[in-house]
Amino acid sequence: MSVSIVDTANPFVFIDSASLPPCYAQLGPTTQQNLDMIEAIRQEAAVRFGLAPDTATAALRRGTPKVAVLSTSSPSLRDNEQPQNIPSAFVQSYSIGKPHPSFQLTGAVCLGTALCIPQTVPYCLVHTNTILTPPRSPSSMTGDHNKMLEISSALHTVKIRHGSGEMDVTVKLVDTDLETVTVESVTVSRTASRLFKGEVYFTK
Phi, psi of 55 (to 5 degrees): -70, -30
Average pLDDT, the chain: 78
Q: What is the CATH number of the domain that holds 116?
A: 3.10.310.10
Q: 155 in a domain, yes or no?
A: yes
Q: Which has the higher per-residue pLDDT, 152 or 30?
A: 30
Query: Is 195 domain-assigned?
Result: no
Determine, yes or no, domain membership for 128: yes
Q: Is residue 36 assigned to a domain?
A: yes
Query: Which pLDDT belongs to residue 178?
Result: 60
> Would you say residue 199 lies in a domain?
no
Residue 91 has pLDDT above 60, yes or no: yes
Q: Which structural domain, as residue segments, surrounds residue 87?
A: 3-189
Q: What confidence score (pLDDT) does residue 192 get?
A: 64
Taking the model in full, what pTM does it have?
0.74
Q: Is residue 41 part of a domain?
A: yes
Question: What distance in Å separates the CA atoms of residue 4 and residue 115, rounded to the nearest whole number?
Answer: 11
Cβ proximity of 5 and 57 under 8 Å? no
Spatial distance between the Cα atoms of 103 and 131, rounded to a whole number of angstroms: 24
Count the domains in the chain.
1
Is 200 within the bounds of a domain? no
